[in-house]
């Protein structure tokens, strides 16, 4: 079986930055892109807060640039998805969705996080037919239509604002009586005449003959003021947070109750020697491109040290 010195799972800012650093350290890493090549930033539009881009940068552009930088320093990029790991002994064995297997001396888990859904049967029923968790991917289909976004955080506000640029009307469905998004994001939402915020509101179902045509909502659920209401919509967008993609390493690597990989303090070191975690899969707090990139750098430095100490 092929034996790789440093295997990187994931192609977001964490994975690619790990590739750049490991490549420059002469390790010849192999990086598997996984389910979403380029990671979550490929589903956003403009990135305005990554240092070094005074005018902002398109998410896809930034990930293309990172990928090229990675390749330049000798990282081999492959496109399969890891489905199983055996981290019980070194070298570790990783199995991919094309049934291939490789062994590796060190592993950097940079598998990121995935969008969460409410758990309604109708979300499954209408997936790809009006239900989406990515406004920038699917918003184009809702030009001049009516859509709803669920959530009250920065993502929800960002998606609602983005969709308002395309659709004729956007409902923002918020379960509490306030938005938890940053003030700047909230201001943008409240200033946009196309966005109607529905506070204290939960979605309980979707309806429609040919794809989503509306949503069943409940206002102030469980109180004396409880009211059922239906809204007519063409698209239903989830923006309620993310789940860390740690399932494939969970049998071996310690995670918290949500599934975030637990690392030693501010390092990417996990409980399994030789396995390092970088980016959103290990970051319940910051989840930013810049923090993910930084942790990818740290992981590659740890890999170099580990290989030197264990060869």
Alpha helices in the chain (DSSP H): 13-24, 59-72, 121-125, 135-138, 154-164, 183-191, 289-310
Catalytic residue among 65, 97, 98, 137, which? 137
- The answer to whether 15 touches 110, Cβ cutoff 8 Å, is yes
Nearer to ligand NDP, 83 or 204 (CB): 204
Q: Is 151 in the site for ligand NDP (CB under 6 A)?
A: yes
Based on the residue annotation, tell me whether 134 is a catalytic residue of this protein. yes
Angle (CA) 278 280 283, round 5°: 85
Q: Which is nearer to ligand NDP, 106 or 155 (CB)?
A: 155
Nearest residue to ligand NDP on Cβ basis: 153
Residue 156's SS3 state is helix
Q: What is the CA radius of gyration of the chain?
A: 21
- Tell me the C-alpha distance between 170 and 202, whole Å: 16
Q: CA-to-CA distance for 293 and 59, rounded, in angstroms?
A: 14
Using alpha carbons, select from 267, 263, 304, 274 the residue that is nearest to residue 85.
274
Does residue 180 bind ligand NDP (CB under 6 A)? Answer: yes
Q: Is 118 in the site for ligand NDP (CB under 6 A)?
A: yes
The beta strand positions in 50-199, using DSSP E, are 57-58, 76-78, 82-86, 92-96, 101-109, 113-115, 131-132, 146-150, 169-173, 195-198
Does position 241 interact with ligand NDP (CB under 6 A)? The reply is yes
- 11 and 67 in contact (C-beta within 8 Å)? yes
In the set 175, 194, 216, 243, which binds ligand NDP (CB under 6 A)?
175
Catalytically annotated residue among 138, 234, 280, 283 = 138
Of positions 125, 188, 221, 287, contacts ligand NDP by CB under 6 A: 287
Based on the shown chain and the rule CB under 6 A, indicate whether residue 211 belongs to the binding site for ligand NDP: no
Q: How many residues bind ligand NDP (CB under 6 A)?
A: 15
Task: Indicate whether 35 belongs to the interface with ligand NDP (CB under 6 A).
Answer: no
Shortest Å distance, C-beta 168 to ligand NDP: 24
For the bound state, the minimum distance from the C-beta of residue 115 to ligand NDP, rounded and expressed in Å, comes to 8
Whether 137 is a known active-site residue: answer yes
When asked if residue 204 is in the footprint of ligand NDP (CB under 6 A), the reply is no
Q: Which residues are known catalytic residues?
A: 134, 137-138
Applying CB under 6 A, which residues contact ligand NDP?
118, 150-156, 158, 175-176, 180, 240-241, 287
């Amino acid at each position: 079986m092929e034996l790789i010195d440093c295997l990187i799972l994931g192609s977001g800012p964490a994975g690619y930055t790990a590739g750049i650093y490991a490549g420059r350290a002469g390790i010849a890493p192999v990086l598997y892109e996984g389910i979403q090549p380029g990671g979550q930033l490929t589903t956003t539009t403009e990135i305005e807060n990554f240092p070094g881009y005074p005018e902002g940068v398109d998410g896809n552009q930034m990930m293309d640039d990172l990928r090229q930088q990675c390749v330049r320093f000798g990282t081999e990029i492959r496109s399969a998805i890891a489905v199983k790991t055996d981290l019980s002994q070194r070298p570790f064995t990783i199995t991919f969705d094309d049934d291939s297997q490789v062994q590796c001396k060190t592993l950097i888990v940079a598998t990121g996080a995935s969008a969460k859904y409410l758990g309604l049967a109708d979300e499954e029923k209408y997936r790809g037919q009006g239900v989406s968790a990515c406004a920038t991917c699917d918003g184009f289909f809702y030009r001049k239509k009516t859509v709803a976004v669920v959530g009250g955080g920065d993502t929800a506000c960002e998606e609602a604002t983005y969709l308002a640029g395309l659709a004729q009307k956007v409902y923002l469905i918020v379960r509490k009586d306030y938005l938890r998004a940053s003030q700047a994001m909230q201001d943008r939402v409240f200033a946009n005449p196309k966005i109607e915020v529905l506070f204290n509101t939960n979605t309980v179902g979707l309806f429609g003959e040919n794809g989503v045509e509306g949503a069943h909502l409940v206002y102030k659920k469980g109180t004396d003021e409880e009211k059922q209401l239906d809204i007519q919509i063409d698209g239903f967008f989830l923006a309620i947070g993310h789940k860390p993609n740690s399932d494939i390493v969970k049998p071996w690597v310690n995670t918290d109750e949500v599934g975030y990989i637990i690392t030693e303090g501010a390092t990417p070191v996990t409980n399994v020697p030789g396995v390092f975690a970088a980016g959103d899969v290990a970051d319940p707090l910051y989840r930013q491109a810049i923090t993910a990139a930084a942790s990818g750098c740290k992981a590659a430095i740890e890999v170099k040290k580990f290989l030197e100490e264990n060869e």
